Structure 1
Amino acid sequence: MSTFINGKIFTGADANTFASAMTIKDGQVVWVGDTSDVNDSDAIDLKNQTVLPGLIDVHTHPKYIADALHGVACTPPNVNSIADMQEALRNSPAFGQGPNTWIEGWGFDETKLAEHRTPTVDDLDKVSTTQPIFIYRSDCHSSVGNSKALEMAGITATTPDPVGGFIGHFPDGRPNGYMKEVAATQLLIKAKSAQSYQADVDNMVNSSDHYLKNGIVAIGEMMGRIRPYDSLKLYQDSVQAGFKPKTSIYYVYDEVAGNNRLQPTNDDQLRIAGIKVFMDGSISGETAYNSQPYPSGKQGVSLTNATKLKQAVEYAKQHDLQVAIHAMGDAAIQLILDTTDNMKPWLSDQPSIRIEHASILSDRMLDQIQAATMNYALVTQPIFFFAEDESYRSYLSPEQFKQIYRVKSMMATKAEFALSSDAPCTPWAEPDSPFVNIYAAVTRTAVNGDIVNPSEAINVPDAVFAYTNWPAKIGGFHQNGLLAPGYAGDFVVLDQDIFTIPHNDIKNVRVKETWMVGKRVYKVTK
């Protein structure tokens, strides 16, 4: 049993409830109150520091992050050109390690590169032709590989496009290394993952401290896979080897359709929670499915029609699973609402359908969500406009831009609401920093100083709720989200008081300590 005193403890009960002391026993909070009521010489002094319930990133890609942590950040502020990218890849610890060692990178956005184009196989071959190279685009939907990576994936000039994906080619027909959208990117990922399952487990375990450093005690894995191995097995083996964050897994529907073995589980540490459906791509990649065309004339890609969406929903209902639906473009979101708004919810303890990103929402859509029979959740990422403001300004009409990441309006509906990172799928060196995301939601300020739809700003307590209490309800982390008797003893100690510092300083907040089940699992070292 441990008792903590002299803290500013945000319990999560409401925006104004703080305590100064609490007791954790057998991994659970058993008492919350005032320091003056404590008579324990062994009590741990919090030294007036601010304490929050353990943070929850309910939409992220831990496998991708595990890969990225030993890869190269191809993002601003350090990588601003293809030449910078080549140099960064040459400085990767993987460089020169032999023909079976992949050199990996993440986060490039061609609009932020000096050349204003996607790197090609020829660009990457200047780094190495003997080691495979794989780089995620910032949206994690698309990627680029060198000639060795293409060879290992069996991609040639005659390889057909996978359903929902596109293999890029030079004018002469030769593959140019660009793999557009998830289905094409998976061709390279499967070749990479086939190399060493144990390496993937090791990478996952090594990523555990990354989450704890950010105060994240629970995560939603939004890219569960059956092939080349089952994601559940990856997590089971990783947890056994020391991976600490609690995890809900959402399997990509295209991989599990017809698989009757996928059933929900309720383990607090690791659970199967739902399925993931892709409606479209990304705004910065001009693949989000929009009602108005991009300046190039494109309208994005529609990956799932109403018939297939209904099939996915029916599958989820039959298996008591949640449906998480990726939708960034307004046409994609409208299709979800028109298809599902009058359906009867099948889950009673959490939303049956999650709309992920919900990047462009009109007033009509918000009204439709409010009037719907279906119980929705809206899970969104202001860090996108923080890091990608120029792309949004360039690719969206003024009317559409006014409708991006409407967090205050989302909260005004009856839908459950949460903030999340979608990390590492945004061009920022700290893609899953909760405090950068909270800063963007509160200040509506992009990294370039642009003010983005300030009427949609929310206050700090609500932004904290959106990383604690609310995502716990959405993601099925029922023991988390509050510091109250009966809840998990998971909490974080901050280096600044997020509730009182100037809003412009929120992005600089750091976690000093992270505790899980009453035990300290991370402490900052100077």
Structure 2
Amino acid sequence: MTTTITNAKIFLGTDETSFATAMTIDHGQITWVGNQDEVTDRTAIDLHGQTVLPGLIDCHTHPKYIADALHGIACTPPKVNSIAELITALKSAPTYGQGEGVWIEGWGFDETKLAEHRAPTVDDLDQVSTTQPIFLYRSDCHSSVGNSKALELAGIDANTPDPVGGKIGHFEDGRPNGFMREVAASQLLIRAKSAQNYQTDVNNLVNSSQHYLENGIIAIGEMMGRLHPYDSLNLYQDAVKAGFKPRASIYYVFDELGDEILAPGDDDQLRIAGIKVFMDGSISGETTDNKSPYPSGRRGVLLTNRQKLERAVEYAQKHHLQIAIHAMGDAAIQLVIDVTKDLQPWLTGTPSVRIEHASLLSDQILKQMNDASMEYGLATQPIFFFAEDESYRNYLSPQQFKLAYRLKSMLTTNALTALSSDAPCTPWYEPDSPFYSIYAAVTRKTANGDLVNPEEAITVPQAILGYTKWAAQLGQFTHNGTLEVGKAADFVILTADPFTVPHEELQNIRAKETWLRGKKVYQRS
């Protein structure tokens, strides 16, 4: 049961500069960390100088969506750049042609990146199939498109009313055009899809386990917990029994709770951690709630007003849960601060209030967070500006653009800042690779070679802490985040050393091996 690793470069994750060269594991825990000169075990594993990090943590992601996406089709650049290419891609889906009732799924389209500069419609998707339902996620995972069969299964026709917080798109003649704007509308299609086969969803989640381990990810925050058409906790429990390996914390969408009471769990593998509130939409969808209008004159959407937010905060306080609040625009973030800044934290060891994305931050908001009684956490995503630079430059004014993803400024506040992916909610074919996010955070470069607010760059150690120690604290993974005695022996061995390679090469680093509870669970071939 005892394993010793030696001749390694082990980043402990306790701070930006602490390393060791050897460690011992016993019964899934780290029992010793030190210098390789102290190792006497002749069976010790010699890593020949390879770099070891604490297991990486994606504290804001959508594993259910990723599980669906992995058997669906990526409708993102570089392979999909037009609606014609999107139609061709969907016809290559593994479920294409498998019979009525079998869903075809795709993800990641962004109309600003398509040659037609519009979203696909029901008529476009019907060119793929009219007998198989099709579900296509937009890059922000807020909006989606369905074909005529999907609309039929969801009971959507010309007379279907818009759900609260969402909008069903229509052609000029009144027909539904298939576009479901914002989460509430997309859920109409998702519920029809998920209601078809619970066991398929379990199997998909189990199969996604390898995907996380390949990326060195050993723990995830499920930010879209649901009670309908089934309880997400039951889905994960059944998936864990069937072999799903990463640790998981679930955050339930507050809109769906009603009178239900959630109790925080203390299971190290799987637990309920908090609730999720949506304040606004997405920048790439031109729906964030900003203090100033978009240059187009459009205003974003405010999905949760002050009274509703106060009820959600009260619920989290009463039931001792963390509250994670999606807020991208500066007006949405300001409302969160206004409601919570004078409250006393109700959790210890982790922020009581998480602000998800925190995309546009003014100096005023940063100061208010710093001066507040509340302890805030910020879960932000460098992959957004990396993959969506064109959308940001197209939709934001120069003044708004300067507020985008101010990572260095976040680290100067008292707020605990973690990096994450929000995968698969961005138009990039590897949306939750931690190393693209680390590359973007350090270089501030985008996929198209642009530079975004370079003064907000952070260091490599800081970016790695954002995926390890700080992510563990924010996501409530108390046994992870650092490689110290007593912590879980969850770690990743890398293909290259991020601390010494040129910054341009950070995006090319991958997990060579991933270990969970002291056992190797993935090895790159």
TM-score, with structure 2 as normaliser: 0.99
Q: Which residue of 2 aligns with 1:514?
A: 514
Quote the residue 2:163 is aligned against: 162
Structure 2: how far apart are the matches of 1:295 and 1:74?
28
Q: Where does residue 305 of structure 1 map in the other structure?
A: 305
**Structure 2 residue 276 is matched with structure 1 residue 265:** no
Counterpart in 2 of 1:10? 11
**Structure 2: distance between partners of 1:390 and 1:30:** 49
1:152 & 1:132 partners in 2: Cα distance? Answer: 8
The residue aligned with 1:350 is: 350
Contact 1:377 / 1:416 at 8 angstroms: preserved in 2?
yes
- Residue 213 of structure 1 corresponds to 214
Query: 1:294 Cα deviation (Å)?
Result: 1.8
* In the alignment, structure 1 residue 402 sits paired with structure 2 residue 402: yes
Return the offset for 1:295.
3.0
Tell me how far apart the structure 2 counterparts of residues 492 and 30 of structure 1 sit (CA, whole Å): 17
Give the structure 2 partner of residue 184 of structure 1: 185
What residue in structure 2 maps to residue 443 of structure 1? 443
* Pairing 1:316-331 to 2, within 5 Å after superposition: 316-331=316-331
Q: Quick one: which amino acid aligns to residue 301 of structure 2? A: V
Shift of residue 116, structure 1, vs aligned partner = 0.2
Is 1:494 matched up with 2:494? yes
Residue number in structure 1 paired with 2:371: 371
Matched with 1:277 is: 277
Q: Distance in 1 between matches of 2:259 and 2:392?
A: 38
Runs of 4+ in 1 over 6 A off after TM superposition: none
- Superposed CA deviations along residues 301-321 of structure 1, whole A, max 9, x for unmatched, are 100011100000000111100
**C-alpha deviation, 1:296, in angstroms:** 2.8
Does 2:251 correspond to 1:224? no
- Where does 1:365-514 land on structure 2 (aligned, <5 Å)? 365-514=365-514
Give, in angstroms, the shift of residue 46 of structure 1. Answer: 1.2
Unaligned runs of 5+ residues in structure 1 are none
CA contact (8 A) 1:257 1:315 kept: no
Give the distance between the partners of 1:456 and 1:499, measured in 2 at CA: 19
After TM superposition, give the deviation of residue 45 of structure 1 in Å.
1.3
Report the AA paired with residue 229 of structure 2. P
For structure 2, the 5+ residue unaligned runs are none
Residue 123 of structure 1 is matched in structure 2 by: 124
Aligned-pair distance for 1:14? 1.9
Tell me what 2:242 maps to: 241
**TM superposition shift of 1:520:** 0.3
More deviation in 222-231 or 34-43?
Answer: 34-43
Letter in 2 for 1:72: I
In structure 1, distance between residues paired with 2:506 and 2:42: 35
Once the two structures are overlaid, the 10-residue window that deviates more, 344-353 or 202-211, is 344-353
Alignment partners' CA distance in 1, 2:308 and 2:170: 29
- What is the distance in 2 between the residues matched to 1:51 and 1:344? 38
1:335 equivalenced with 2:335 (yes/no):
yes
Q: Does structure 2 retain, via aligned residues, the 8 Å contact 1:7–1:50?
A: yes
Alignment partner of 1:466: what SS? Answer: helix
Q: Could you give the per-residue CA deviations for residues 315-373 of structure 1, whole angstroms, max 9, x where no partner exists?
A: 01111000000011111011111111111111112100000000000000000000001
Deviations 1:160-186 (A, max 9, x none): 000000000000000000000000000
Q: Deviations over 1:136-179 (max 9, x none)?
A: 00000000000000000000000000000000000000000000
Aligned to 2:103: 102
1:257 offset after TM fit, Å?
A: 3.4
Q: What is the Cα deviation at residue 430 of structure 1?
A: 0.3
Deviation at 1:449, TM superposition (A): 1.0
CA distance in 1, matches of 2:162, 2:342: 36
Greater Cα offset, 271-280 or 335-344: 335-344
The answer to whether 1:57 aligns with 2:58 is: yes
**Residue 299 of structure 1: CA displacement?**
1.0
Give the Cα separation in 2 of the matches to 1:483 and 1:442: 23
Counterpart-to-counterpart distance in 1, 2:139 and 2:420: 16
What letter matches 1:171 in structure 2? E
1:448 CA drift (Å): 1.0
Secondary structure, counterpart of 1:116 in structure 2:
coil
Q: Secondary structure at the match of 2:388?
A: helix
Matched residue count: 524
CA distance in 2 between partners of 1:169 and 1:400 (Å): 31
Distance 1:306 1:371 in 2: 21
Distance 1:349 1:50 in 2: 29
Q: Secondary structure at the match of 1:480?
A: coil
Query: Deviation digits for residues 57-101 of structure 1, max 9, x if unmatched?
Result: 000000000000000000001000000000000111110000111
C-alpha distance in 1, partners of 2:416/2:485? 23
CA offsets, 1:14-72, max 9 Å, x none?
22211111000011000001111111111111121000000000000000000000000
Counterpart code for 2:52 = V
Most deviating of 223-232 and 291-300: 291-300
The secondary structure found in structure 1 opposite 2:150 is helix
Residue in 1 aligned with 2:85? Answer: 84
CA drift of 1:290 comes to 1.0
Equivalent-residue separation in structure 2 for 1:92 and 1:57 (angstroms): 27
Q: What is the identity, as a one-letter code, of the residue corresponding to 1:43?
A: A
Residue 144 of structure 1 aligns to a residue whose secondary structure is strand
Give me the identity figure in percent.
69
CA distance in 2 between partners of 1:474 and 1:294 (Å):
32
Q: Which amino acid in the other structure matches residue 503 of structure 2?
A: H
Instruction: Give distance in 2, aligned partners of 1:4 and 1:504.
Output: 29
The answer on 1:360 being equivalent to 2:338 is: no
| 1:288 alignment partner, SS class | coil
Q: 1:341, 1:5 → 2: CA distance?
A: 47
TM-score under structure 1 length normalisation:
0.99
1-structure distance, mates of 2:382, 2:465? 15
CA distance, structure 1, for counterparts of residue 490 and residue 281 of structure 2: 35
Query: In 2, distance between residues paired with 1:511 and 1:478?
Result: 23
